[in-house]
Amino acid sequence: MNDTISVDRFESATIIIPVMNETASLEETIRIILRDVKDRVDEILIVVCDRTTPEAMATVERLCASLGSMVRVHTQILPFLGGAVREAFDMARGSHVVMMASDLETDPNTLKTLIDNARTHPSAIVTASRWRVNKGFQGYSKVKLLCNWAFQRFFAVLYGVRLTDMTFAYRILPTKLVQNIRWEELRHAFLFETLVKPLRLGVEVIEIPSVWKARTEGKSQNTFLLNFVYFRTGLRTRFASRKSILKLGIQAQESRRSI
Ligand SMILES: Nc1nc2c(ncn2[C@@H]2O[C@H](COP(=O)(O)OP(=O)(O)O)[C@@H](O)[C@H]2O)c(=O)[nH]1
Ligand SMILES: [Mg+2]
């Protein structure tokens, strides 16, 4: 891997939490973060938008009032989930960023293991896998489970990796890496893009087990048809040049180095 995207050590994590319609789940997520990894967290960056419900906004405001500078709130300009996380990537101050949800589908109890692995592998992406644990999908239909398995196998073979879960958007990544990649997707396929573009750049990806449990509060913003966009992202990136994946400034640095 080129040193423009390698990282010497883990210093602190910026935890990115997009919020749409979560209240109790958001509070529980933050309670566990503070309980387990407070000393490793630089800040919790909550991203909201104009569609975030008034109840969720009130919860965010309460959290800000009680936690002070530990929580930063950003109102996104780009649309959708990808837009929210892309803007948070650019704002991150920690050496690493954590991608997770506020609906408890990304089990906050796994966060400590994610961060511990990032400390020993600072240049790698550490990502959660629902296929590395017994009953990793709770409240997921049988048909979706079969499609998910086939999708994972197809892209693991296509990318020549042993990964079992490339679409579970619960991971920790080096900030320098995410800030140097040219992101394209705005909707949920962005979550897959955050794994395949680094893979194409030769970044190491480590999986740890975690359970996904269907949310009990609010509703998902994903739709069945949006899942097909994942194929476009995965196929296009597999054959993209490294140059097209990196931002322009980084390409210039790389070519200066090779002169
Ligand atoms: N700020 C923001 N948050 C979003 C948006 N779409 C989804 N989220 C949040 O991102 C997380 C994951 O989204 P979700 O709709 O549950 O997707 P799914 O788990 O893939 O079905 C949840 O915590 C949502 O509230 C968005 O457009 N803006
Ligand atoms: Mg969800």
| Residue 8 falls inside a structural domain | no
Instruction: Check pocket membership of 53 for ligand 1, CB cut-off 6 A.
Output: no
CA–chain centroid gap for 241, Å, is 23
6 belongs to a structural domain: no
Looking at residue 56, its pLDDT comes to 98
C-alpha dihedral (181, 199, 220, 51), degrees to nearest 10: 0
Instruction: Please name every residue paired with 17 in a beta bridge, in sequence order, or none if there are none.
Output: 46
CATH number at residue 238: 3.90.550.10
Entry pTM: 0.96
Contact between 136 and 123 under an 8 Å Cβ cutoff? The reply is no
Most informative mutation of 17, 19, 20 for ligand 1 (most atoms within 8 A of CB): 20
- Say if 247 falls within a structural domain: yes
Q: Say if 131 falls within a structural domain.
A: yes
Question: Residue 180 CB: number of other CB atoms within 10 A?
Answer: 19
- Alpha-carbon distances, residue 122 vs 3, 12, 157, 191, 197 (angstroms): 13, 11, 26, 20, 18
Token pair 């296509």 is at which residue?
158
80 in ligand 1 pocket by Cβ < 6 Å?
A: yes
Quick check: CB of 7 below 6 Å from ligand 1?
A: no
- Is 15 a pocket residue for ligand 1 (Cβ < 6 Å)? no
Residue 258's pLDDT is: 59
Domain-embedded: residue 240? yes
Q: Classify residue 168: in a domain, yes or no.
A: yes
- Answer whether residue 107 is part of any domain: yes
Give the range of the structural domain holding residue 48, as residue numbers without chain letter.
13-258
Total domain count for the chain? 1
What pLDDT tens digit does each residue of the chain (259 aa) get?
566 678 999 999 999 999 999 999 999 999 999 999 999 999 999 999 999 999 999 999 999 999 999 999 999 999 999 999 999 999 999 999 999 999 999 999 999 999 999 999 999 999 999 999 999 999 999 999 999 999 999 999 999 999 999 999 999 999 999 999 999 999 999 999 999 999 999 999 999 999 999 999 999 999 888 889 999 999 999 999 999 999 976 666 666 665 5
48 phi and psi angles, rounded to 5 deg? -120, 170
The full DSSP string for 182-224 is: -----STHHHHHHHHHHHHTT--EEEEE--EE--SSS--S--T
pLDDT digits 0-9 by tens, 199-209: 999 999 999 99
Q: In this structure, is residue 26 part of a structural domain?
A: yes
Residue 18: closest CA among 62, 79, 69 = 79
Are the C-beta atoms of 168 and 128 separated by less than 8 Å?
Answer: yes
Which residue owns the Cα nearest ligand 1 atom 10?
Answer: 18
**What is the rounded CA–CA span in Å between residue 90 and residue 258?**
27
Orientation of helix 142-159 relative to helix 189-200, angle to 10°: 20
- Return the ligand 1 atom nearest residue 188 CA: 20
